[in-house]
Structure 1
Amino acid sequence: MVVRYLLVAVILGVAVGLSFLRYTPQATFTEGMVGQPTDLNPTSGPKNEVDEMLENLLFRSLFKYDLAGNLTNDLVEGYEVKEGGKVYEITLKNGIFWHDGYPVVAEDVRFTLNQDPTFSKAVIEVVDGKKIRFRLEDPLGSFPSLLTKLIAPSHLVRTSPLTVVGDGSFYINHIEQDGEVKEITLQNQGTGKIRSLVFKFFKTQTDLQEAAKRGEVDAFVADNFNHPSFTRYQSPLYGRYFAIFFNLESKNRMVKSPTFRRAAARKTPIPILLDDPLKDGGVPVHGPLSGTFAEANLPFPKFSLTIKAQFKGGLTLTVPNIGKLPEVAKVITQHWQMLGIKVNIETVSTTMIEEIIANKDFEAIILGQEVSRDPDRYSLWHSTQKVYPGLNITSYSDPRADRALEEGRKTIQQSKRKEHYLNFQRLFLEDNPAIFLYHPNLNYFVSRRFSGINLSSLFVPSERFRNIQEWVQLPY
């Protein structure tokens, strides 16, 4: 599972606009984005959110998630699981072609995934033109979710990081450059009323919003924007959350106490945070598997909060100096001090975060993480992942939790996986190595001249185009 730390509390803006003022059944949709595209080839992986957005429109994957969050076939016609989950045999659909006319074949899958470290321990075999076999070291029930990676063509030699041939509904029709990329036009060869997507690139969020006020763009992502021509579409990003992580290897005895961590969790004012300072900027996180099919949203174990006399001393809460995180830390501190402890806030530069995590140089720290839709959180919470660059930054260790994570990832049947992950969540709640705060909201401001936008069940911002075939430009 790929996990990225989120060192931004405010997601950079994205804008959408319309070039034409007359209604036509086949519309052009222009989106403005802050930043620059750098490399649009899936074998390189997206370098930023601009790359990720464009790649998801240009390329397809073996599997994909639908609007309800269910894993469904994309390039896959069907698949078989053999040898107890150690072998996956996948058959590709017929009639799918790259934009240059070549068919999508099994060699494309092997070519792409052999370059991805995630698959370094898998043996990938081409059985025939349309069938590919994966041999795994151990059974892995979450394996299909890893196959949502975009596939690149194997028959082409790359000549430019921006000149790519995909197999998605959109293909690159034109790139306008002047030192930097000014504009990329994609043409729709699939279904839907939006036939062209024009992406314009801005240097700052201010430039983007000024363009929106002038009517040059019709939508963008921002915390706040007030204009009568725009409608706000809001959705939590369930693949991102912010949390307080405790260092269980700290010399601070209070931090190492499960009783204190449970008390701190009970005193953390999530509703107050969401109201102010976040100001409608997120929704609560329901445990370590929030937003997945295994989410349980269990209640806290019963215990008394009238025990503050046993909490003596204090702790340091480390917080990156980004966006509203320092304000969030202040509100949390005020409520933790009701337990009779002292809390020191240490605000640090984002450039220091990696070193702080590597050296476990914190007692409690507020961080953001990005996770997958599958509930496999082995890399985050299994005891074997405690040593850096392992991602178990709290050093959480419980043999029972380890067992639940192991069984959950190797079990194939989803209902059985759910049972194992329910057990993990119960054990996690007993120890409380982290306090989950909120999923940030995506605020997408769209011109009232468009309808059909559906942002339900978003995990990452690039998914907002999932139902673009249903978007329409309204007559006016």
Structure 2
Amino acid sequence: MTKRLRFFYLFALAFFRKNFRLAARAVIFALFTFVFFTLTFKGIWLPFGQRLWLSLEKTTYTEGVVGSVKSLNPLFETTEAESELNTLVFRSLTRLDKSGKLQLDLAESIQEVTPTEYVFKLKKNVFWHDGKNFTAGDVVYTVESSQDAKLATTAKTVFKDIKIEKIDDYTVKFKLREPFAPFLSQTTVGIIPAHIPLSSYKPIGTGNFRVADFTPEKLVLSNGRLDLVFRFYMSAERAVLALKQGEVKALGGLEKKDLEQLAGFSNYQLYSKTMPTRLTAVFFNTKAEAVSDKLVRQALSYATAKSSLIKVADGGSVIAAGPLASGNSLQVAEKEHFPFDLSKAAILLDKAGWKLEKGKRTKDGKHLSLTLTTAVSDQYQSLAKEIGKSWSILGIDYQVLSLQPGEMDQAIKDTQFQLVLTTEAINFDPDQYVLWHSTQVRQGNLTVLSSPKVDKLLEDARKRNDNAFRKEKYAEFVRILADESPAIFLYYPTYNWLVNKKVSNIRLDRFVTPADRFQNASEWKIPRFAI
């Protein structure tokens, strides 16, 4: 072997000595050819090289999602899952931080010209995922599409009675019909591209992740180095089973029962955060005969042990004292008006004419009979059962009506309930006009509350962009609403997220909504091919 190598070495050396000029020319020609083709076809070779390198570096994260995702369009989102995923693909003019303060996103600056005119300067060098420039035309298109009467956009109310004008390619002006203090907090709606008409819509955004694949079974989002794979399951039970079987490596929105089932899975890390803009409550139909008297509603408020409900729910939630978001943007203080007290509850029921006769609350020969409507989930069922314990002690006939999600939505929409236990999304801004104003019945005012005092406070508070003035009005609103007692505000629920421990460097310091769990996804550390 050594002799052969020595032979070839001596042969090559003799060849180059004899043909030095020819060999030198061949090497120079090869180098020139390489440089020429690299410069000439760099649009092909360099991206190919980059893609090859990124494919070797890329990691994948797979998470289960309960429910289907039909629309990846922020103007048409109807579910929590759609809202979460849209946040990853689309950016908005502004966003809210964990304290409810407004932060600039696609907007570079905002100028309040008058109480009804706002000028937005937009950031330059922002690109859609297909390479097109983001401009003012996209903002105009988004707003006008949301206002189109022919389209069933869920963002229609956000820009209602608002005109938008393009000043130049990177400046837009919003004109409001009348002063509206919460306006800026409404500009967190995702912006869609004007160059892709809704008739041939594709989910192309300016967010950190682009859509790589979207089918009824899964969604794949990618930023080049990380693929986020979301697999859809029609029930929480099926999603939990998928986690157990290794189909997915993470699952969010877990209830207490789910966590108990998964307690033995030591290779998963639990992340739990309070959701300050989600409020679990018992809402009264104030027009239903049994609870039309506010004294009865106040009595039931006193008879609800919130601390016990927290333990039943998940143990980590924060008790709510009123209707506003926890840590609302104006820091309007809320105090507990109805601490648990069965004696006070009994006194109020007596005062309302519901006397205790043979262990039953009776008035005009009728028993006080209440039906609490809620979802079929184990958590809501457990809460409903716990609520009934103390109400039954007072001599109230009590039963629970369990509905599927679609039935539940319809019952709320048609106000076909006496009381309903559910969780509502609320804003950091304390403006709750849609939830409680008498003109919003069958829209957001599910309790059918009609109070001239509440109406006036809500109207006044949104007309002046003066924080001190608004804070005073909302403090009074909270007090009046407590007296009316259209709902029993229970707690701000906890979001539970179980993730494989191989995923590290997850930060939730800016967590407000479930979508915020991906706030630093680009910085996650995941072993290649492990997730």
In the superposition, the TM-score normalised over structure 2's length comes to: 0.74
The structure richer in strand per residue is 1
Deviations 1:60-116 (A, max 9, x none): 100012244322000111112233x21111111122122233221111001011122
Q: Aligned AA for 1:447?
A: N
Structure 1 residue 91 corresponds to structure 2 residue 96: no
- 2:228 aligned to which of 194, 198, 217: 198
Match of 2:389 among 328, 334, 341: 334
Deviation at 1:458, TM superposition (A): 4.2
Q: Which structure is richer in relative contact order (CA contacts within 8 A, separation 6 or more)?
A: 1
Instruction: Give the Cα separation in 1 of the matches to 2:227 and 2:412.
Output: 41
Distance 1:469 1:395, change over 3 A: same
Change (3 A) 1:241 1:420: same
Match of 2:160 among 85, 95, 120: 120
2:129–2:206: 8 Å Cα contact kept in structure 1? yes
Partner of 2:209: 170
Match of 2:305 in 1: 269
- For 1:353 and 1:371, the matched residues in 2 are separated by 19
The aligned amino acid for 1:236 is T
The equivalent of 2:104 in structure 1 is 73
1:28-427 residue pairs with structure 2 within 5 A?
A: 28-43=60-75, 45-83=76-114, 85-116=115-146, 117-118=156-157, 119-157=159-197, 163-172=202-211, 174-175=212-213, 180-182=216-218, 184-188=220-224, 195-203=225-233, 205-206=236-237, 208-213=239-244, 215=246, 217-221=248-252, 222-223=254-255, 224=259, 225-226=262-263, 227-252=265-290, 255-276=291-312, 278-280=313-315, 282-291=317-326, 292-293=328-329, 294-300=331-337, 305=344, 307=347, 308-310=349-351, 311-312=354-355, 313=362, 314-323=368-377, 324-348=379-403, 350-353=405-408, 356-357=411-412, 360-386=415-441, 389-427=442-480
Is 2:97–2:512's contact at 8 Å kept on the other side of the alignment? Answer: no
- CA RMSD between the two structures: 3.0
Q: Deviations over 1:416-452 (max 9, x none)?
A: 3222211111111122111012333211011222233
- After superposition, the Cα gap between the structure-2 partners of 1:259 and 1:182, relative to the gap in structure 1 and judged at 3 Å, is closer
Alignment match, 1:13: none
Alpha carbons 1:320, 1:350 under 8 Å: kept: no
Q: Residues of 2 paired with 1:159 and 1:181: CA distance?
A: 23
Aligned with 2:493: secondary structure?
A: strand
Aligned residue for 2:470, secondary structure, equals: helix
- 2:480 is the alignment partner of 1:440: no
TM superposition score normalised by structure 1 = 0.82
What is aligned with 1:4?
Answer: none
Alignment gaps of 5+ in structure 1 = 1-23, 189-194
How big is the shift at 1:471?
A: 3.0
Alignment identity in percent? 31
**More helix as a share of residues:** 2
* Count, aligned residues: 436
Q: Which runs of 5+ in 2 are unaligned?
A: 1-55, 147-155, 356-361, 363-367
